[in-house]
Structure 1
Amino acid sequence: MSLCSFLRLPSQALFVQFILFSLLCLGISNHALANTDSTKRQAFSISAGKLSEVLRQFGLASGLSLYVDSSLVNGHQSKGLSGEYFPQQGLTILLSGTGLDANQQTDGSYRIEARSSITINESSDLSTSIDLNKIDIVDENLAFTQDEQGYNNVFDKNLSSTYVGKQELERFKGSSPADMLSGMLNVYSADARNSGGIDPNIRGIQGPGRVPLTIDGTEQAITIWRGYNGANNRSYIDPNLIGNIKAIKGPNLERNVHSGIGGAIVASTLSVDDILKPGEAFGGELKLEGSNNAVDASVPRLSSGQSYTDIPGFNAQGDIYDPTLYVEPHSGGQDYFDDYAYRLAVGTRQEAFDLMGAYAYRKKGNHFAGKHQDGFYSRGSDNLQDNMIPDMANIYKPGEELPNTSSEMESWLAKAKLKFSDVESLSFGYRDTSTTYGEIFPSRILWERAVNEGVPQWPLSEVNAKAYNVEYELNPETNRWVDLYASVWRTDTVSDTYTAGGYPNEPYDRNASGNTTLRNTALRNAKEDRRGVTLSNTFALMDNLDLTVGGRYQHEKLRSDDRYDPTGGFRMYPKAGRRQEKEMNFNFAWKPTHFISVDAGMRYSSFWTFDDFRKSQLDKGNTSFTNYTPLLGKKYVYGYQETVTRTTTIDDVQSSIDNFETNRAMFESLGIDVDALIQQQLGRVGETTTTVYDRRREATWTPDEDGKYSRDNHPCLNEPSDIDVLRCNAYGQEIGTTTKVTKVKHLKGDGWAPVLSVAMDLNDDSRIYARHSQAYRFPSLFENTVSFSASLPSPDYELKPEHIYNYEVGYVHNLAGLLDADYADIKLSYYYNRTENIIERDPNLSFSNLEKQTLEGIEFQGRYDNGGFFTNLSLAYNFENEVCDEHTAAVLDYLSTSDCVEDGFVAGYLVSMAMPEYTANWTLGGRFFNRKLELGSRVTYYYKHEDKFESNYRDPSAISYYANTPLSWDTILLFDAYASYQLNDDISVELTGTNLSNEYYIDPMSRSAIPAPGRTFKLSLTAKF
């Protein structure tokens, strides 16, 4: 397959192709310079201290790739390094007198070994040029591994981030992909137990495009309907293939990172270095795992094609009751072991190429809930539809099997890297993951019945995700103008998920006299294809000034094999559309003095979307899409009384007098005095009378040109001066004129956003930094195409892009020297995020731009490791989450709802994205018997979710479950522990226990009311060969 056919780039992306090939040609022209020796000296200022810490700082400053066995450097001190040296010369000076030498490996890295153990490689030369862009300090005993460098960057970079390496990922893999983010400060995944994927949330920012998740630079995400519980954005990922995850908080210009307004989740798959030992040419790794607390799911067979009248007990009226979907849940999770996994990976590292392949499989049954601390979830509720959490433990019994929580994953991974030289390479990657997992549409959990009948076990959802990527890197050390990276990638995802809104078994006609044949209206098909290009190059303009320029292109296409059927009851439209996004950016890295560094840059981004499904319906003349009635206002009616006072005139009585005269003979025959009657009428002339009338007057509340309502012109707040209004009520009508839609528009937008960061070293061990960054988030396919959960208020309505203003101040201190430790760091940061024009669902279930959301908090991160004892502590206090919008407040309750509310407005999505106000993660442990045995524990704390509806609204009892009421959680305190033992150089075993207190709880930001797993033990074996 050619590169062009692989990408199938549209004509609008020709400029990206031009830039790509121009930069590649630039790189090729400099190929001859790539292999010459380094002649550039570098300035070093590294204080004396432990040799391990000095080598770490030297690696950061020089960029040399080092492999270090910590047992060789423990106990050694170093005088440090000060002055200008060639990097290799500096390394030699640091190792002098230690009995250690540096031996260059075939991959260009250096292995630090005892002098007597070094085998001289004739081709090795300490003066050989090194890739100074790579910082990869690796220690076989967990001190200087590539993952350790990832942990170091949390404290070394002037932005907020958190990192999880391979060992920690595999240790606390948990029961679902969302557990990979556990322990990462202020980083979460929504709907962890009923989604099969990850929906990232960083510092309360969540949703499509707000926090992109990339795997080896590729991206896949699709928004899924959750019925009355809104929607969530899923990225499907197999934890068994992941080598590390980095979460970057806030918008940034990190090189080759796709960042949204909330930051980015950057995942990397396993690499050759994860499988092979340092210096090893060929090898492999086998990993076996088994856990308890899971039992095989009793998945029902569909009844499609049958008549529901043939199924005893089937009730087709109202909410369908299907007895074929109900099974008796198991109890006693500690006795079931239906959760196992294995992975085989092999690789080779050669002078000219690297190859790696891996196969991974995991099958997990339905997990069991915890048994203790369930009081918050069992206290009961008068109205289950208003709030289901108080009865959750009465439905999902503590210690019982939880239906719809099983999963099965099978994945393949292949990687190849061609090394043309030490400074030039071409890499290829392929990933294929098939996932089958339990899922139930939240709106189909019938809470009134579930207390007595339980929750049905639905059929399983299926997803297949494929990814392809090609990367080219060129970094000739002697050419200051070239440090090139280029990649092309593609992802293809096919999903058949139980998220369409219907039922697994639903009749065509619920009336028994009609068509009673059952069909599946719950299954939704989606095909999502993405393809992209990423480019960047760093120019060393001066010794203290670098310029990095980059670009990114992504094209997304979403379609479905579902047939549009308006008789499908609750089933929503199939979604189909296209979206394109382009970005260009630049960043200057300037160090005006040795203690001040400045980063300044800007990003230009643009997008367009097109609704293919809407166009297909317009082409067919479907009146549901061709005829549109724009809302021009809401009717209100004034109630008032009118008092009328008037004087009687001769004209008022003349008709009576005429009547008496005309009929005088008749009246007198009856003995009536006609003259007296006439005189009586004449006596009324000149009299005054007063009458009170009940009156009504209509008024219209009209929106502005953006469809927004304001209190400024609300009829009830701006009463006419000529009447005394007694009452003002909505008339129950919305005004509009039917309009014919003839064309679907390309919705588009663009914008520039700056990023600025300044850092100052207070001394050799501490520094402060301040950041200001902005970014735009353009509407996603979910928000700009018709389908489920919400819609645009009109076919021509264009949402504005979200615009975030991020401010952050941080303080970092290295305490390693003071505490005589290998690592001892603390980092304290304050953040403030204000997002203007944030896209949200309004009370009319239409997408609109709210005025702003403000998020504010402080974070603390700290670590200590002296080789024998280690601990990590992270704390967060998120003290502000405010959403403001006069339109939404006025529509909900123009009298008493404030323009600004906590967490978000009812019926919107933001209210379900609110983080815990307080959160903490604490790990501690020790290494024994020459590091062969490691014992550790982890404590996780989340403060309870307090329902803000009580304070946000005058009458919170009117807020119902149907309005996306957030699922509250009680205070969560989890205890995990592990014991790892290295049997020999190649084999290790580990026992991990999670939720040791067997607590009953629901994860923060869940959209499906399904408890998390109870106490679980996992035994794993890792063997290298």
Structure 2
Amino acid sequence: MLSTSRHCSKLTTLTLALGLVLSQPLAAQAQSNIVTFNIAQQPLSQALNQLAEQADMSLIADANLLDNLQAPALYGQKTVRDALTQTLQGTAIIAEIVGNTIILKGTNTTATTTAPADLQANLAEQPKHADDIEVIVVKGDQINLNREQLERTKGSSNADIFSTHTSIEANNLRNEAGALDIGIRGVQGEGRVPVFIDGSLQSTHTNRGYMGTSDRTYIDSDLISTVSVEKGASSRVSPYGAGAIGGTVTISTLNPSDILSANQEFGVLMKLKTYNNNKTPEISDDPWQQEYYQVTQDQDSSQFENGGLVLASAYKGDDFSGVLAYSKKETGNYFAGSHGYDQFVDVTDSGFERLPPVNQGAEVVNTSFASESYLAKFNYAFNDEHSVEVNTRHHQQEAGEMLASYWLKYTEGDYWRLPDGTFGIIPQGIEAMPQWEPGTAHVNSASATYHYLPTNNNKVDLKVNLWSTNAKLKQYNALGSNLGPNALQYLHEYSNRRHGVSVYNTATFKLADSIPTVLTTGFSWQDEKLTPKEGSEDNFWSGTTTSRNGKQTSQSLFANAQLDFDALELVLNANIHNAETEDYQTGLSQEFDEKTDFTAQLYYQLLSNTTLKAKYSHAYRMPSVYETTVSNEVFSYSPYYPVAPEQTNSFEVGVESQFSGALVTTDSLTIAANYFDTQIKDMIATANLPNLDPAAPEWLETSSTFTNYDSFTLPGIEVLLNYTSQYVYASASITKYQNIEICSAQMAELAGVATCNNLGFSGSLTPLRIPPEKNYVATLGFTLFDDALDAGFIYKKHSDKSHPGGFLSGTGAANVLAYIPASYQLDMYLDYTFSPRFSAYTSITNVTDRYAVSAGSIVAVPEPGRTVTIGLEIKL
């Protein structure tokens, strides 16, 4: 349930406030979106609130217009425009959709049916003063992306869609097998930022050796319709939000509105794209030969290889709607950029130059990716009160992977193994690096939601949701396999299964007969299992698998209240949750007793165009099944170092001002600033500690395990400027962290260092948790020819970042980065719509061909160099 509030302002929306979407949404898609509405007959103000909420839009209205008016019931699948027409029937109110905002105004007529009219004409005929307008916000501090915005930011990885938001981090972006591993404001991993796809929770715990652990979510970004990101612990209703101390990501896959044109009952969508700057590697079946893959040093930029295909169909009737879609994507190893390479050349005190493994402009091994995905979604309304929605998705992929200990190269004069099994000397002009066969992932997910909303009963809006996700993985993240040398010693197979159920109800009423209130209460249950492939214990020298073998069950009771005090809105959210873990390998179990999360958020209208916001949260994250089960991976749970739940206290305050007519009469300017302070007590992370196991061999003096660090503090500021006009839109944002601090008396005593620092501790992977101090993003775009042409530039930059001295020294990790220089990337895009049924686009990422490394990397895996993508979209 989205939050609702009322504030006085000009004819602008608060949607962009406090770190929201940075580029202008398109009104056409919002108007034609098909939404399933379930709104009972009730006062017009409350009905419009629910309409905007269910359509995921903002609403601006003159408060006086809505008094003493009733709205009819609204049920079924409709466009937002049709829903507004029906809701406003018999009133003297007209509506217009601008961007992602619904604007309502009064007229001098009393027509029985009022259709949305042209906003600019209305403004010219009936100018209003700022203090006459009241804003109803249905978003909160979210980032919302539609399909057009996603297309602008797609790069070679699925996670690139998040790259234009300064407060979102993608962990180790180029070595996550094409998966999403999202962090928000420096908080990341192990359920801290869950990803929901069509109502199901899908993330997979993945060991990356000395590169840390990943919380991978597998999805083809070409099948995504919208993305919504809430920063910080949720103030909204979220049945599975327990433990989401960093934020939540909600993804919706393709809907009928993405495929059908206006008034179309059945339609087909086809999307094609291709790109340059990649090469499909020819990989030997011999693990010895994989160790000495010959790297291509450059590529012709005119050579386009691989690409993507999407075929989707949709049907929309009075009671039934559905989508069937297929997507196929392939890309080879990409090539690095050229400019800025010298920053990664390490010069020793003796003047010797240590070069990074990948040369400027050279092929980056183990970055190929290929996937196939299938999607089926159906919605059926049995009658005006009962409906059901079913979603299923299958995703299978092959993706390059590597471990830090194998990020190295062989050059002229080094020995290498020849195909006949003998050794020789690498000749001049040849360089080789380990190139492994891709790992695989097969993910099946399904969800079903039953919705009951009786007519003329504001106290009942019941939803029952069931979901299941099953991921089967064969990847290089094990240790001690007897399958063969080199890459094969890390190969293993396991599954990650999750399923859950939630029941919740929303009631709308007036508290004390005067305060509009929305109250949601509910219960959720989920179960997660990590299981090695049956019989795989024979593939390990120890006789036990590397994979975890256990399950975790959790339950949650939650309540959310939204209270509207006119100029002030208050949202209260509470979640009582517990967890229990069983480790089948050791026979041990752990119970984590009930903890209560609490969040309070308020908005207050300070001036006619300025809103203040404050939010406080006290939340817990239970140790995950991955952190509480034993394995033979590099980092494993140790019963001698038990872990406790994390406790998070977060606070943020923000201010946003909106201005109309800043440069021309039809433009708008948003200026927003936000201060946040996230304090995690007892943060669970990896550590290299003394081995307390009496049964351990004498030579095994240390234990690589999980432990609770005393605290991790992430304060910072976010600043946003957003400008929109008829032909130009622009934005700029910065996230700056201030005085990041991680503390551990335990680790400090072992290393003989200070208890707190801002880099993390050697012998652990905490340095990877710390983001760079500054992130910047700026966008400049143009829309011409009645919005048929959309073109622009995106500039992204991060400051430098250091790792502590001796980071991972004494381990097998090769070429670990001690310092990541500041870097920038410039992208451009151009989209032209020839007709409602045919459009084409091109984008160029890394226009200046920079040699750069992601701030989340542990080794120097360079980003893709200049890459050109060309695509077509056809609707039939």
Q: Which TM-score applies when normalising by structure 2?
A: 0.80
Partner of 1:181: 162
Q: How does 1:590-739 map to 2 (within 5 A)?
A: 590-591=563-564, 593-615=565-587
Partner of 2:118: none
Separation in 1, partners of 2:412, 2:650: 45
Partner of 1:856: 715
Contact (CA 8 Å) 1:177, 1:237: kept in 2 or not?
yes
Partner of 1:550: 522
Separation in 2, partners of 1:182, 1:38: 43
Partner of 2:21: none
Separation in 1, partners of 2:679, 2:567: 31
- From the superposition, tell whether residues 610 and 450 of structure 1 become closer, same or farther in structure 2 (CA, over 3 Å): farther
Residue 391 of structure 2 corresponds to residue 429 of structure 1: yes
Partner of 1:376, secondary structure, is helix
Contact (CA 8 Å) 1:302, 1:504: kept in 2 or not?
no
1:765 deviates by: 2.4
Partner of 2:310: 343
1:471 deviates by: 0.9
Give deviations 1:182-218, integer Å, cap 9, x for gaps. Answer: 1122111112112211111111111111111111121
1:323 deviates by: 6.4
Q: 2:679 aligns with which of 834, 837, 841?
A: 834
Q: 2:549 aligns with which of 562, 571, 576?
A: 576
Separation in 1, partners of 2:332, 2:807: 39
1:253 deviates by: 3.5
Give deviations 1:110-155, integer Å, cap 9, x for gaps. Answer: 5379xxxx9xx9xx786599xxxxxx9967x88879xxxxxxxx99
Q: 2:367 aligns with which of 393, 397, 405?
A: 405
Separation in 2, partners of 1:765, 1:477: 38
1:813 deviates by: 1.9
Partner of 2:863: 1012
Separation in 2, partners of 1:126, 1:781: 51
1:1016 deviates by: 0.5
Contact (CA 8 Å) 2:41, 2:70: kept in 1 or not?
no
Give deviations 1:37-56, integer Å, cap 9, x for gaps. Answer: 8352438xxxxxxxxxxxxx
Q: How does 1:530-545 map to 2 (within 5 A)?
A: 530-542=498-510, 543-545=515-517
- From the superposition, tell whether residues 876 and 228 of structure 1 become closer, same or farther in structure 2 (CA, over 3 Å): same
1:983 deviates by: 0.9
Partner of 1:889, secondary structure, is helix
Q: 2:145 aligns with which of 141, 164, 167?
A: 164
Partner of 2:238, secondary structure, is coil
Separation in 2, partners of 1:60, 1:280: 28
- 568-577 vs 997-1006, greater mean Cα deviation: 568-577
Q: How does 1:429-508 map to 2 (within 5 A)?
A: 429-446=391-408, 453-476=431-454, 478-501=456-479, 506=484
Contact (CA 8 Å) 1:419, 1:425: kept in 2 or not?
yes
Contact (CA 8 Å) 1:62, 1:87: kept in 2 or not?
no
Q: How does 1:130-149 map to 2 (within 5 A)?
A: none
1:839 deviates by: 0.9
Separation in 1, partners of 2:772, 2:354: 22
Separation in 1, partners of 2:202, 2:397: 14
The AA in structure 2 aligned to 1:913 is R
The AA in structure 1 aligned to 2:619 is A
1:378 deviates by: 2.0
Residue 776 of structure 2 corresponds to residue 920 of structure 1: yes
- From the superposition, tell whether residues 143 and 443 of structure 1 become closer, same or farther in structure 2 (CA, over 3 Å): same
Separation in 2, partners of 1:382, 1:221: 45
- From the superposition, tell whether residues 329 and 66 of structure 1 become closer, same or farther in structure 2 (CA, over 3 Å): closer
The AA in structure 1 aligned to 2:400 is G
- From the superposition, tell whether residues 378 and 563 of structure 1 become closer, same or farther in structure 2 (CA, over 3 Å): same
Separation in 1, partners of 2:364, 2:810: 25
Q: 2:789 aligns with which of 930, 933, 939?
A: 933
- From the superposition, tell whether residues 380 and 168 of structure 1 become closer, same or farther in structure 2 (CA, over 3 Å): farther
Contact (CA 8 Å) 1:603, 1:752: kept in 2 or not?
yes
Partner of 1:812: 656
Contact (CA 8 Å) 2:204, 2:471: kept in 1 or not?
no
Residue 559 of structure 2 corresponds to residue 586 of structure 1: yes
- From the superposition, tell whether residues 450 and 852 of structure 1 become closer, same or farther in structure 2 (CA, over 3 Å): farther
1:178 deviates by: 1.9
1:790 deviates by: 2.1
- From the superposition, tell whether residues 944 and 417 of structure 1 become closer, same or farther in structure 2 (CA, over 3 Å): same
Partner of 1:887, secondary structure, is helix
Q: 1:265 aligns with which of 249, 264, 279?
A: 249
Contact (CA 8 Å) 1:162, 1:248: kept in 2 or not?
yes
Contact (CA 8 Å) 2:796, 2:824: kept in 1 or not?
yes
How many matched pairs? 763
Q: How does 1:105-116 map to 2 (within 5 A)?
A: 107-109=77-79, 111=81
Q: Which TM-score applies when normalising by structure 1?
A: 0.69
Partner of 1:21: none
Separation in 2, partners of 1:929, 1:501: 59
1:454 deviates by: 2.9
Separation in 2, partners of 1:1009, 1:255: 41
- From the superposition, tell whether residues 905 and 566 of structure 1 become closer, same or farther in structure 2 (CA, over 3 Å): farther
Partner of 1:183, secondary structure, is coil
Partner of 2:214: 232
Separation in 1, partners of 2:579, 2:282: 46
Residue 615 of structure 2 corresponds to residue 771 of structure 1: yes
Contact (CA 8 Å) 1:537, 1:548: kept in 2 or not?
yes
Residue 492 of structure 2 corresponds to residue 520 of structure 1: no
Partner of 1:573, secondary structure, is coil
Separation in 2, partners of 1:1007, 1:602: 38
Contact (CA 8 Å) 1:105, 1:279: kept in 2 or not?
no
Give deviations 1:672-724, integer Å, cap 9, x for gaps. Answer: xxxxxxxxxxxxxxxxxxxxxxxxxxxxxxxxxxxxxxxxxxxxxxxxxxxxx
1:903 deviates by: 3.4
Contact (CA 8 Å) 2:239, 2:522: kept in 1 or not?
no
Could you tell me which runs of 5 or more consecutive residues in structure 2 were left unpaired when the two chains were aligned.
Answer: 1-36, 104-134, 415-430, 690-703
Partner of 2:592: 748
- From the superposition, tell whether residues 62 and 287 of structure 1 become closer, same or farther in structure 2 (CA, over 3 Å): closer
Contact (CA 8 Å) 1:850, 1:885: kept in 2 or not?
yes
Contact (CA 8 Å) 2:41, 2:455: kept in 1 or not?
yes
1:551 deviates by: 2.4
Contact (CA 8 Å) 1:59, 1:65: kept in 2 or not?
no
Partner of 1:361, secondary structure, is strand
Q: 1:559 aligns with which of 523, 531, 538?
A: 531
The AA in structure 1 aligned to 2:273 is E
Contact (CA 8 Å) 1:980, 1:989: kept in 2 or not?
yes
Partner of 1:782, secondary structure, is coil
Separation in 1, partners of 2:56, 2:809: 60
The AA in structure 1 aligned to 2:190 is P
The AA in structure 1 aligned to 2:446 is Y
Partner of 1:973: 824
Residue 237 of structure 2 corresponds to residue 255 of structure 1: yes
- From the superposition, tell whether residues 761 and 297 of structure 1 become closer, same or farther in structure 2 (CA, over 3 Å): same
Q: Which has the higher strand share?
A: 2
Partner of 1:846, secondary structure, is strand
Contact (CA 8 Å) 1:521, 1:571: kept in 2 or not?
no
The AA in structure 2 aligned to 1:881 is I
Separation in 1, partners of 2:723, 2:140: 20
Partner of 2:123: none
Give deviations 1:18-42, integer Å, cap 9, x for gaps. Answer: xxxxxxxxxxxxxxxx999835243
Separation in 1, partners of 2:87, 2:637: 65
Separation in 2, partners of 1:429, 1:476: 24
- From the superposition, tell whether residues 36 and 772 of structure 1 become closer, same or farther in structure 2 (CA, over 3 Å): closer
Q: Which has the higher helix share?
A: 1
Q: 2:293 aligns with which of 320, 326, 332?
A: 326
